[in-house]
Chain A
Amino acid sequence: MTPDDIKRVVLDVLTRIAPEVDPASIQSGVSFRDQLDLDSMDFLNFVLALHDRLGVDIPEADYPRLYTLDGAVAYLASKSVRAAAP
């Protein structure tokens, strides 16, 4: 899965949680919680959906790495490469 594919999944998951958000308006380096008005339950659902869609295990200690679009794509790309490796 390419970083672009991962980005599409992340944006899709986010816009399901916050349907009023235009994915094109999401700024890559700004925290989702600040720009999308997510609460902790939304964030938990975000992590859960990424886990389900990408099949990556996301320990709670890594949550801060998912706070921005850039961070999330980089983190998930590293995890899915590792998951795909033999």
Chain B
Amino acid sequence: MPSLGSDMEAGTLVQWLKHPGDAVKRGDIIAVVDTQKGAIEIEVFEEGVIESVQIKQGEKVPVGTVLAMIRGTGPERPRVPAATAPPSAPAREGPPTPAAVSAPQKTPHEEPSRRRVSPMARKVAADLGVDVTQVEGTGSGGAITREDVERAAAALKTSAAHKPSAPTARAGDMRAAIASAMARSKREIPHYYLSSTIDMSGSLAWLRAENEKRPVAERLLPVALLIKAVGLALREVPELNGYWIDGAFREGTGVHVGCAISLRGGGLVAPGLHDADRMDLGTLMRQLSDLVARARAGSLKSSDLSDPTITVTNLGDQGAEAAFGIIYPPQVALVGFGKIAERPWVCSGKIEARPLLTATLSADHRATDGHRGGVFLAAVDRLLQAPEKL
């Protein structure tokens, strides 16, 4: 059970999408897990064949529990526990959970589906009230698989799908998760806060000209420039990019910018844009747009949530002048952007109306000092003065 944020302690296995005997490769979605943040698709980070699943559907298990075993495709490849956090992800802080990743392998709950009806298909059929003798098998040798049963169940309009919690219960769960993470952050992290006012006239002029050339679907929002500038500035101040774990800073492997996204029903998620420092602005914008859409549709993947190395919040979009955020542990920094608004700016001894942006940094004083935070904000400012290079 991967950790999808420091506030996650357990998850409920809603549905297996791959089964023993199925070949999997990196990036495949193998299961759906229900968390306080909603249903999340679990990706696999290994290549091989699923040997066994260790958790039944409907079972709630702590973070770190092995969900399935995958046998590597090569002759020498050992079995590896699947669907744990990716190697680069931070370990969850706090006491280790009783069932850690290294939990001994249990007897598999089921065997590869070589019979006419796989045990899982039988179980699902029983759960869904499907008569297996009426189901057409599409598995190996005509075996009836779980998917066959589910298709039959869907046809019978007895939904096999996960029934999501009522919206109010879901909002309550998410509130509790946010409360837990933010209370922990304020309890444990000695925050320091810096702010800097950035003249955005150059960036916005460049953006206007650029968007004139672009079709509607490829137009950029200012936030794409801001995230890219954060990504590049973190290369200069890498000690803000990573995690504080077990009393020490661990630099992130890559710059994965978590984007705080407010949900329409209330609540907040901060899925990550991977390698935000390496993407061109068009790609970054597309990925951000996709991330926002998926966050709001409740279809985030485990890799979206497991390893952001910093968070960016763009509350200026709602009109706030500046945002001094609370760090999402175990990250060590959060960047806040306020509204870009025309305000007086002194330039060459004259007061001019310029579009200004207040950028803030909330940082963990255990990991960095204010001086390095200042260097970071200065780098963001400098990068935004040359938008064509972003």
Contacts and interface: CB of A to CB of B under 8 A. Distances in A.
B217 A60 contact: no
Contact of B212 (A37, A40, A47, A59): A59
Interface in B198-242: 208, 211-212, 216-217, 219, 221-223
B350 interface: no
B102 interface: no
Contacts of A39: 262, 317-318
A44 B221 contact: yes
B289 A41 contact: yes
A40 B337 CA distance: 14
A40 B317 contact: yes
B317 A48 contact: no
A63 to B, nearest CB: 10
A29 B217 CA distance: 27
Contacts of B217: 48, 51
Contact of A60 (B219, B262, B317, B318): B219
B219 A40 contact: no
Contacts of A60: 208, 211-212, 219
A51 B264 contact: no
B247 interface: no
A19 interface: yes
A54 to B, nearest CB: 12
B292 A51 contact: no
Contacts, number: 37
B265 interface: yes
Contact of B265 (A20, A40, A51, A58): A20
B318 A18 contact: no
Given A19-B264, A20-B264, A20-B265, A40 B216 contact: no
A41 B221 contact: yes
A44 B292 CA distance: 12
A37 B317 CA distance: 10
B337 to A, nearest CB: 11
Contact of A41 (B211, B265, B292): B292
B81 to A, nearest CB: 37
A58 B208 CA distance: 13
A45 B222 CA distance: 15
A45 B311 CA distance: 24
A48 B44 CA distance: 34
A46 to B, nearest CB: 11
A47 B221 CA distance: 13
A18 B221 contact: no
A58 B219 CA distance: 11
Given A19-B264, A20-B265, A40-B223, A58 B216 contact: yes
A51 B318 contact: no
Given A39-B317, A59-B212, A60-B211, A44 B219 contact: yes
Contact of A18 (B216, B222, B264, B293): B264
Contacts of B208: 60-61
Interface of A: 18-20, 37, 39-41, 44-45, 47-48, 51, 57-61
29 contacts: A19-B264, A20-B265, A37-B264, A39-B317, A39-B318, A40-B222, A40-B223, A40-B317, A41-B221, A41-B223, A41-B288, A41-B289, A41-B292, A44-B219, A44-B221, A45-B289, A45-B293, A48-B216, A48-B217, A51-B216, A51-B217, A57-B216, A58-B216, A59-B212, A60-B208, A60-B211, A60-B212, A61-B208, A61-B212
CB-CB nearest 6 A-B residue pairs: A39-B317, A51-B216, A60-B211, A41-B292, A48-B216, A40-B221
